[in-house]
């Protein structure tokens, strides 16, 4: 019995020693000599195939069809733009509301002064614009190609039948009683002539359009971009020559543009002075400048013009953007006011342009210089 008890005691002591040894081993790991680090060999990069298609950023749903930029309000997607006639003589300066325009057309009128047609891609965000001026037939002949509402104050009565034939949605200051037009009292107090003081309150336009039941949806053939644009993140320089300065002689007044490389815009002058927006305090600036040459002549004793607004295969022009310039041709479908204005490169292919605001001059031939 003693023997069994001693045996049990020995076994118990042995078990305790084994357990103690086990715990001691858990407390400290055995140190191993440091192994040299072996860098994993980098796999060679896959070679890019010539002509490989690189995935472009997706075109946003709120793309402004006039500029290619994604800045439309939700309520303006698929809706019609607005074209507004703006007084552009020096005595009417400064203008306001034009800094927000997406496209500005500048074309001579009587006496070879010019008038603006300012286009706004978002009809819900048209600002208050001053000074507003009257219609000349070639402006709506162009605006119809954008399916735009057409805003003016006064018309050339000699072409009233032509304007009626266009069947356009015209919002006219003389006959309009919707509270959209008025006189800028500050300008009147400053001594501006009456014709330089008319304003159009674009902020009231959506409610006016709704009250009149006017069509807001673009026609089916106008639901794509107005121009062929480069990629969302591309700013391509026209390859023909460098161009940081543009001078345009309209006859009785001039326009000039100087390239601001930091802003990537051409800043506009009128008769040698910066052309400013009085509300924003900023000089007019454009990503793209187009000078389109055309036939212009005087058609009556009042000095009204005939103007070839549809161009053609031999209608010359120039495209200026991103510090470069190239010759182009331009046209609309002959006699079709509702056709797109299209630009072509020297090979006859549709011209791709940079996304952003555009200035478009229609003027006499050989009246522009580029440096």
The phi, psi pair for 51, rounded to 5°, reads: 85, 5
74-370 carries CATH number 3.50.90.10: yes
Q: In a 3-state reduction of DSSP, which class is residue 350? A: strand
**Stated pTM of the model:** 0.85
Q: What is the pLDDT of residue 239?
A: 87
| Cα–Cα distance measured from residue 95 to residue 275, given in angstroms and rounded to the nearest whole number | 8
| Ramachandran sector of residue 190 (left: φ over 0; alpha: ψ -120 to 50; beta: rest) | alpha
What tokens appear for 330 in the block?
Answer: 């331009």
SS3 164: helix
The predicted pLDDT at position 35 comes to 38
Residues 6+ apart with CB under 8 A from 266: 246, 257, 258, 259, 260, 285, 286, 287, 289, 320, 359
Ramachandran bin of 112, using left for φ above 0, alpha for ψ from -120 to 50, beta for the remaining angles? left
CA dist., res. 33 & res. 261, Å (int): 62
Query: Token digits for 17?
Result: 């020693």
For β-strands 305-307 and 296-298, DSSP reports them as antiparallel
Q: Which residues pair with 358 in a beta bridge?
A: 103, 288
Please report, for residues 111, 298, 305, 328, the alpha-carbon distance to residue 301 in angstroms, rounded to integers and kept in the order given: 11, 8, 10, 34
Look at residue 112 in the predicted model and tell me its pLDDT: 98
Phi, psi of 321 (to 5 degrees): -165, 145
Largest Cα–Cα distance in the chain? 145
CA distance 349 to 351: 6
Closest CA to 125 of 147, 96, 150, 101: 101
Q: What is the DSSP letter of 183?
A: E
The first and second tokens of residue 327, run together, are 């010759």
Per-residue pLDDT of the chain (371 residues; tens, 9 = 90+): 433 333 334 333 333 333 334 334 433 333 434 434 334 343 444 444 455 666 778 999 999 999 999 999 999 999 999 999 999 999 999 999 999 999 999 999 999 999 999 999 999 999 999 999 999 999 999 999 999 999 999 988 889 999 999 999 999 999 887 789 999 999 999 999 999 999 999 999 999 999 999 999 999 999 999 999 999 999 999 989 999 999 999 999 999 999 999 999 999 999 999 999 999 999 999 999 999 999 999 999 999 999 999 999 999 999 999 999 999 999 999 999 999 999 999 999 999 999 999 999 999 999 999 99
Cα-Cα-Cα-Cα torsion 343, 347, 350, 356, nearest 10 degrees, comes to -60
Among candidates 182, 336, 362, 356, which has minimal Cα distance to 265? Answer: 356
For residue 50, the model assigns a pLDDT of 52
- CA-based angle 228:124:77, to the nearest 5? 45
């Amino acid at each position: 019995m003693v023997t069994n008890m001693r045996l049990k005691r020995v076994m118990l002591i042995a078990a305790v020693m084994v357990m103690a040894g086990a715990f001691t081993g858990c407390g400290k790991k055995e140190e191993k000599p440091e192994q040299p680090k072996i860098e994993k060999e980098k796999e060679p990069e896959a070679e890019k195939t010539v002509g490989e298609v690189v995935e472009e950023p997706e075109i946003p749903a709120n793309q402004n069809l006039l500029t290619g930029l994604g800045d439309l309000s939700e309520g303006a997607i698929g809706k019609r733009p607005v074209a507004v006639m703006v007084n552009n003589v020096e005595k009417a300066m400064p203008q306001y509301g034009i800094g927000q325009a997406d496209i500005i057309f500048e074309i001579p009128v009587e006496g070879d002064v010019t008038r603006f047609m300012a286009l706004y891609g978002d009809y819900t965000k048209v600002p208050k614009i001053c000074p507003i001026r009257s219609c000349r037939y070639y402006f709506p002949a162009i605006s119809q190609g954008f399916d735009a509402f057409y805003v003016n104050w006064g018309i050339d009565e000699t072409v009233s039948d032509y304007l009626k034939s266009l069947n356009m949605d015209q919002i006219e200051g003389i006959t309009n009683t919707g509270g959209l037009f008025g006189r800028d009292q500050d300008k009147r107090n400053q001594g501006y002539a009456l014709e330089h003081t008319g304003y159009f309150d674009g902020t009231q336009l959506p409610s006016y359009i709704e009250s009149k039941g006017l069509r807001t949806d673009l026609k089916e053939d106008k639901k794509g971009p107005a121009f062929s644009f480069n990629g969302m993140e591309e700013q391509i320089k026209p390859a023909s020559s460098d161009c940081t300065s543009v001078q345009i002689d309209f006859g009785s007044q001039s326009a000039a543009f100087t390239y601001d490389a930091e802003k990537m815009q051409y800043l506009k002058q009128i008769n040698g002075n910066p052309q400013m927006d009085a509300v924003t305090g900023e000089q007019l600036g454009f990503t793209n400048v187009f000078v389109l040459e055309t036939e212009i002549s005087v058609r009556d004793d009042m000095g009204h013009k005939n103007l070839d607004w549809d161009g053609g295969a031999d209608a010359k022009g120039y495209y200026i953007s991103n510090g470069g310039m190239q010759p182009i041709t331009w046209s609309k479908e002959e006699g079709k006011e509702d056709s797109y204005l299209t630009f072509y490169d020297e090979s006859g292919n549709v011209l791709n342009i940079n996304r952003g605001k555009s200035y478009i001059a229609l003027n006499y031939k050989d009246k522009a210089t580029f440096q």
